[in-house]
Amino acid sequence: MLRIAIPNKGTLSQPASQMLRDAGYRQRTDPKDLICRDEANNVEFFYLRPRDIATYVGTGDLDLGITGRDLLVDSGVAAEELVDLAFGGATFRWAAPAGTIVSADQIGGRRIATAYPGVVERYLADNELKADVVRLDGAVENAVRLGVADLIADVVETGATLRQAGLVTLGEPLLRSSAILIGRPGHTAAGAAQLFRRLQGVLVARSYVMLAYDVRADLLENATALTPGIESPTVSPLHREGWVAVQAMVQRASVHRVMDELYELGARAILVTDIANCRL
């Protein structure tokens, strides 16, 4: 049975479960459950702290896990990123009170508060800098105001928490994080290929829509140049002489622009539908 670690709490927990549900796996119904067996798919899910997930996967006690890229780096565990799951996006950044520390080359010798000491120490080592790392559990934005640090290094999503604490970011992000599927280097667990295909199916279904439209046959080349699809668009004859129907997958993010351009070209009956799931 494939054994998979997923977050039991926190920002990544609910979207990780939702993604697995969308991929056809059974998930816990009670948020306090710590194990869920999916007999039909021969998979067992273990609900664990996202920070601990790399440890279980790195030792080989669990086959695969879903965690954040920043948490994997912070753990220092030799587990590897297999798939970027495209949710839980955030940056990991330096921040300090405005006007105090203005660039990342000024952090040497300072006190840095963080809940991710592994990420910070890796940056310091890579950049041959020395600084005091003050390890905190959370609410790190308060650390400067309370006097235990000169700057912080923390997860930034909207930036609202930083603004509230009177802090501004400095320099480039130390890393860009999102939820990832991790595994043990050199190990492919039995049954993992099916999970990868299903997750890829969900990722594609989330980022593409199906576009259908009617267009005059003499405009077909121009129209399909706008909607080349992934393999190739499907073109079918219409009962109306000189017209064809076209179907193609289009990136969700660009579908409104593509629809505008198709309409201007002369296409009509332009319809967008969601893709529930797919195997390409």
Ligand X SMILES: Nc1ncnc2c1ncn2[C@@H]1O[C@H](COP(=O)(O)OP(=O)(O)OP(=O)(O)O)[C@@H](O)[C@H]1O
Closest of 277, 275, 270 to residue 226, by C-alpha: 270
Q: Which is nearer to ligand PRP, 152 or 226 (CB)?
A: 152
Show Cβ contacts of residue 10 under 8 Å, excluding neighbours closer than 6 positions.
49, 50
Beta strands in the chain (DSSP E): 2-7, 35-38, 43-48, 64-68, 80-84, 90-97, 111-114, 132-135, 151-156, 167-177, 179-183, 208-216, 234-237, 243-251, 268-274
Q: Which of 57, 101, 153, 155 touches ligand X (CB under 6 A)?
A: 155
CA–CA separation, 267 and 223 (whole Å) = 8
CB 66 within 8 A of CB 46: no
Provide the 3-class DSSP secondary structure of residue 93.
Answer: strand
Show Cβ contacts of residue 188 under 8 Å, excluding neighbours closer than 6 positions.
none
CB 260 within 8 A of CB 183: no
Q: Which of 177, 208, 213, 249 touches ligand X (CB under 6 A)?
A: 177
Closest of 86, 80, 20, 74 to residue 47, by C-alpha: 20
Q: Which parts of 108-147 interact with ligand X (CB under 6 A)? A: 138
Q: Which is nearer to ligand X, 134 or 265 (CB)?
A: 134
Rounded least distance, CB 27 to ligand X, Å = 17
Q: Which of 65, 68, 118, 201 touches ligand X (CB under 6 A)?
A: 68
Which listed range, 53-61, 65-73, 162-170, 229-237, lies at the site for ligand X (CB under 6 A)? 65-73
Q: Which of 26, 28, 46, 51 touches ligand X (CB under 6 A)?
A: 51
Cα end-to-end span (Å), the chain: 26
CA atoms within 13 A on the CB side of 235: 17
Rounded least distance, CB 182 to ligand X, Å = 12
- 11 binds ligand X per the rule CB under 6 A: yes
Q: Which does 66 bind (CB under 5 to 8 A by kind): ligand X, ligand PRP, none?
A: none
At which residue do the structure tokens 């000189």 appear? Answer: 242
Rounded least distance, CB 11 to ligand PRP, Å = 7
Rounded least distance, CB 206 to ligand PRP, Å = 22
- 70 binds ligand X per the rule CB under 6 A: yes
Rounded least distance, CB 125 to ligand PRP, Å = 23
Q: Which does 65 bind (CB under 5 to 8 A by kind): ligand PRP, ligand X, none?
A: none
Closest of 155, 71, 164, 157 to residue 114, by C-alpha: 155
Q: Which is nearer to ligand PRP, 140 or 192 (CB)?
A: 140
Site string for ligand X, 71-90 (x = CB under 6 A): x----------------x-x
Q: Catalog residues that contact ligand PRP under the rule CB under 6 A.
A: 138-141, 154-161
Q: Which residues bind ligand X (CB under 6 A)?
A: 7, 9-12, 50-51, 68, 70-71, 88, 90, 138, 155, 157, 177
